[in-house]
Structure 1
């Protein structure tokens, strides 16, 4: 993570604006056949491990947990609040394991100056792109014990008995949501002054009969963002944030090169990033250990872990 963003997020946590938990990079001292090293192959930096850790921590504290990336946005379109919308979608059913949303990639604009950050400009200039094959899940925590990156393969079609009388079980399965979707904003381009002043509220990409959100809600969010960015204790960190692209461009070039090759699992872990003294990064490290090879599982663990800005920016 970029050092200045890391410090800003920590300060926002101190102010009670958000809650974050550092996730130690998952590494392995050895991975023997027939297994693949998950950080470089199947699980693409192990989000499934991070998501499952989050799920287990909040299993008894939250009714719903969502598994998503930092560039994903989801707006409640069938209710005023997330909780109300999720409850409506579950419909009191005991057979729904998760609400499964499609991901719609969006192209839009961004601005280098913190003073110009605008959700309205982001949404008003959004251009829908590809609908991705894999989606994201919102789950009831009591029905999940682990998860894959997109949904739990363990929860699907699992029998649930509501009593001990041997009655016919319920079988859990995810519910595909057709009236809403996650919006994924990637590869944003720098916008113009005219685009910053755009006022159009976009349609819900899954339903042309409704807006993505109403004017009142958008205005409230915009004011909240502006008030947060103007907090004196945050201004110190905001002024140090990068105002030009560097690592994102390098990563995009690397991934495009991987996609054009053969036999690659597209993954930023295979990218080598140059250092930039003006944009330091924060990384975790430690002593990684692997137990003796066993079947079906081999144990891997870490000791003496720490976070530092002295490892450079690498993937």
Structure 2
């Protein structure tokens, strides 16, 4: 049975933020499990308020999920009126039927600044509610033709793992939802905490949303190890002015072969990966040290503070000093 009782307001110090996960018949159990693992578990390793987790359903009965299981929600649709983030782990991408009350609740939530995160087919509900008008979207590659036909006015990014547009985050199929959820934790608590959550998941701590959804061709084990050796070397020498040619030498490959195999293995170019690694290093230093900006720029491989500041703001959206002020660990 669902309820609206015991919904704590945001001034309750036990919780930092409330997350509502919306479920319905046809729910994807894996996508739902991602939301539970990231936001719904107790976190004894943290000594600060975590998320309040609410499972919300528009139905009075338990919903039928994939795999032959049923899941009962502990909150009704009214909980959407008090939460801070709404996650849609999957939705009826095969149906054009609209639930007027649900659409109304979602639009009201958007008006008061609630964040939305969709995983896989969850993007269809966001589109039905008009929450993607004027925005970009992504979804699992198998849903792209259906989504394009149903919502031709919405711009699709067919390759992105996830897209962050402030109060709306769309992610692609299944495992990309892990990346999007960890990205949200990173926004709320910083990279150090997000990395701890990722370790508990035994997941990669951070994948850029711009990476491709899948690797089209398999990569031989020997070549994959060679790329890994190059990556390990680069991470150990980020403060140096690393060239892609040097990375190729560490993999014992020609420049051309290295570029091709690196992209096949990681989904991005060596230069894109290197820039991403430098930003990740600088984030860690901003959060965990009192180093001056000039020193952080140097340790992250930037020649000048100004070069670092411009690159950081371009990729992160805020200046290094603003990022430190928000995410600095005590």
Tell me the TM-score normalized by structure 1.
0.23
Structure ranking higher in strand proportion: 1
- Higher relative contact order (Cα pairs below 8 Å, separated by 6+ residues): 1
Structure ranking higher in helix proportion: 2
